[in-house]
Structure 1
C-alpha cells in the first residue's frame, strides 16, 4: 500500500518536529549541566559504591528477634568478591551488621551494593551498603514498557517516550539549574509547559485536540500552583518546614539554590500527571462529540465538556489525595498512635503541608476541566 503525498508530508513533518524536540533537549541538558561539580576519587582517597558477590558466610552470629516481627539482629561475616570498579576481582571479608533499621539479609551467590572507602594506595575498607536493586529497577522498567507496548501499541510506545522526555527534563534540567540559583517556580512552569506540549504532540500530533489539552493542562497546573502558594503564605508554610530542610540548608552554604520556591514546584510536578490525564480525556471526548455533530456551537460543546468532566474529576481527585495519603501512611500511623487532638493535628507542619499539596492538586484537576472545555470548544467551532 503506497503512501499519498499528504501522508508523506505528515511523516516528514513529524520526523522534523521530533528531531527539533530532541535537539532542544540535548542543548538544554548541555547548558544546564555545564560546570556541574562532580565527585572525584584519587589513588589515595575516595568513596565508591560498587557491586559485589557474596561467596560465602564464614560466620553467622545473628538471631531472630521475635519482638520486632522476626527481623535479624547481630552480625555475620561475609566473604565477597568485588565485581565492578577499580578493585574489580578483589576478595574481601566484611562484617554485615543486622538491626531493626538496617537488615541486609543475603546468602551465598547474592549480589550486594558495597561501600568502598579508600584511605591509601590500594588500601581500602569495604562495607555492605544495601541490596543490589539495579536489576530489579531495570526489570520493572522493562515490564512497564512492555505493558505499554503490548496493550497500547504504538500509542503506548509514544507515551513511554513522552514520559522519558519529561523525566530527563526534570532530572537533567530542573535539578541542576535549581542548584545554580534559578528561581524554581518559573523554571518548573516552563519545563511543565514544554514537556506537556511534547507529550501531547507525541500522543496525538499537532491538532486542535492536543493544543486544547496542552493549554488546559497548563492552566490547571497554574491554578494549583497559585492556590498552593497563597495557602503556604497564609499558613506560614515553606521549604523550611519540610523534612529535608536541614539538609537543604547545608546545601545552600555551598550552592546558590533558592529554597522558598521548592515547595510550590513540587506541587506543580506532582499535579502535572493527573491534570494531563483529565485534560486529554476531555479534549478527546469533545473532539468525538464535535465530529458526530459539527453543528453544535461553542456554548454547547463547553457544556458537554463540563458534563464529561464532572464524572472524571471525582475519581482523579481521589487518585491524587489517596496518593499523598499513601506516601505519608507511616507518619499517619505514628500520629494516630499518639492520640493527637484535632487542633494540634491540623496545626502541625507535616499535616498542613500534605493537606495543601492534596487540595491544591485536586483543585488543579477540577479547574482543568473548564479550561480544556472552553479552549476546545472555541477551537472546534472556529471558522477556518
Structure 2
C-alpha cells in the first residue's frame, strides 16, 4: 500500500514530533472511543428461510440424454432453459449419507455449474414436506476452498518475497482491515447504526492500524495519516452533498433492493455513502503515503530547497499520480459494473435518460466524489509534509549540516588544507618527483 523506501527518513526535530504527537494521538483516541460507542452489541440475523443442509461430494459418473420435448408456449414468450439433461452420480463425503452414492439431475439453467467425473462439488439435501423420510440431492456449486487457499498462499508468498519484512507487515495490515470490516463496519450497519458514521470511524481505524503497522511510527507516516483523515472527512461531506443534490435513494442496484426487503430499517442512502468512503480509503492512503515520501526524499536529496520549492516539486509528482489514479478508479467501477453497462448498451432510451437514471447516476456520483477526495489529498498531504521536512533547519550543526535552509559551507581551514594537499607533487610511480618531464624517454 503506497510508496516505500528502505532508507529511513531523517528524524524530525523534537518540536515537530511533539506537535505531531499532540495532533495524532487525540485523533486516534477519539476514533477508538467512537468505535467503542458504535460497536454493535447484537447483530440481527436475516430471516432467509430454513437452512438447507449442504454436503461435500465427488462426481463419479455423468450420464447425459436427450431432453424431453417442451410444451408449446404463447407467442412472444421466451423459451425456458434447454438442457443439458441426464443424471449425475455423486459420492457423498460427509453428513448422514457419508460414503453413499446418490443420483442427482444434471445441473441446468442460468449459472448452473458444468460437472465432470472427479469434480469436487457441493450438494444440497432436500426433504419432501409430505414425507420427511424422503430426501433428494441437487448439485449447488463446485468446491472452491482448496483453489482459493492455493491462490492465497501464492499471493502471500509473492508479497513476502518482494517486500520482505515490510511485505509481512502489509499482510498483517490487510488482515487487520478485514477484521475491522467484518467485526465492526458490517455488523454496525446491520445493527441500525448510521452507515456514514460507521464507515468514517471504521475507515479511520483501518487507516491508523494499517499505515503505522506497514510504514512504521514516523513523522512521515503521521503526515500521511493526517492527510488521509482530512481527505476522508472531505470525501464524506462531498458525498453527502452530491447524493442530496442528485436526490439519490440508494436503490440503484438489485442487491440494494433485495437487502431492503430482508432488512427494512437499513438506510440505503447512508449505505451508498459508506461504500464511497470505504472504496476511497484504499486509493487515498496510496496517494498520501506517496506524497509524504516524495517530499521527504526531495528534502533529503537537496536540503537547500525551500518549503515552496518542495511543495511545487512534489505536487508535480502528485499530478502525474492523480492522472493515472483517476483512470484506475473509473475502470475499477466499470469492471465491477459490466453487466450494468451491457444493459445500458441494449437500452433503447435516449442517452440523457440513461445517464440521469438512478443506477447510473449512482456510479457517476461515486466516481466523481472519490476523485475529488483524491485531488484534495495531494495539496493537503504535500503541504503538511513540506512543513515537517523543512522544520528545524535553523538549528546549528556540524560541517555540511543545514542552516537556514542552505547547506553549511565547509570551514576555510579545511578548504585550505585540501588545496595544499592537492598541490603537492606526486611521489609514487616510476618517475622521480624532481625529474623534469622534458627528460622523459621517448618510446617509438
TM-score (norm. length: structure 2): 0.71
> Relative to structure 1, is the Cα distance of residues 350 and 257 closer, same or farther in structure 2, using a 3 angstrom cutoff?
closer
Pick the structure with more helix per residue: 1
Q: Deviations over 1:211-257 (max 9, x none)?
A: 1112212222332222222111111112233322322222224xx54
Aligned to 2:98: 88
Contact 2:64–2:84 (CA under 8 A) maintained in structure 1? no
Match of 1:238 in 2: 249
- Number of paired residues? 345
Q: Output aligned runs, 1:293-372, within 5 Å.
A: 293-372=302-381
Measured in 1, the distance between the counterparts of 2:385 and 2:67 equals: 65
> Structure 1 residues 382 and 83, CA, compared in 2 at 3 Å: closer, same or farther?
farther
SS state at 1:260 partner: helix
Structure 2 residue matching 1:47: 3-state secondary structure: coil
The alpha-carbon distance between structure 1 residues 375 and 72, as it changes in their structure 2 partners (threshold 3 A), is farther
Q: List per-residue Cα deviations over 1:158-212 (Å, max 9, x = no partner).
A: 1121112111211221111111111111111111111112111122111111111
In structure 1, distance between residues paired with 2:314 and 2:219: 15
Alignment of 1:187-198 (within 5 A): 187-198=198-209
Report the counterpart of residue 161 of structure 2 in structure 1: 150
The match for 2:57 among 36, 52, 58 is: 52
1:95-142 alpha-carbon deviations (Å, 9 max, x no partner): 12323x133111111111222235687754321111222222222222
Classify 1:193/1:32 alpha carbon distance in 2 versus 1 (closer, same or farther; 3 Å): closer
- Contact residue 47 and residue 118 of structure 1 kept, 8 A: no
State the shift of 1:366 in Å.
Answer: 1.2
Distance 2:46 2:250 in 1: 26
Preserved CA contact (<8 Å) 1:74 1:97: yes
CA contact (8 A) 1:92 1:126 kept: yes
User: Is 1:262 the equivalent of 2:236?
Assistant: no
Tell me whether 1:140 sits opposite 2:145 in the alignment. Answer: no
Which of 205, 218, 223 lines up with 1:212 in the alignment?
A: 223
Deviation at 1:61, TM superposition (A): 4.3
Tell me, in whole angstroms, the C-alpha distance in 1 between the residues paired with 2:272 and 2:44.
Answer: 25
C-alpha separation in 1, matches of 2:39 and 2:135: 35
| Corresponding residue to 1:288 among 272, 293, 297 | 297
Structure-2 separation of matches of 1:230 and 1:87: 58
Counterpart selection for 2:386 from 354, 367, 377: 377
**CA, structure 1 residues 143+33, in 2 after alignment: closer, same or farther (shift >3 Å)?**
farther
Q: Is the CA contact 1:346–1:352 (under 8 Å) kept in the aligned structure 2?
A: yes
Q: Please tell me whether Structure 1 or Structure 2 has the larger radius of gyration of its CA atoms.
A: 2
Structure-1 residue corresponding to 2:239: 228
Residue 233 to residue 39, structure 1, CA distance change in 2 (3 Å): closer
**In 1: Cα distance, 2:59 partner to 2:151 partner:** 24
Q: CA RMSD in A?
A: 2.9
Cα distance in structure 1, aligned partners of 2:339 and 2:268: 26
Change (3 A) 1:88 1:297: farther
The TM-score with structure 1 as length reference comes to: 0.81
Which range moves more in the overlay, 291-300 or 155-164?
291-300
1:147 offset after TM fit, Å? 1.6
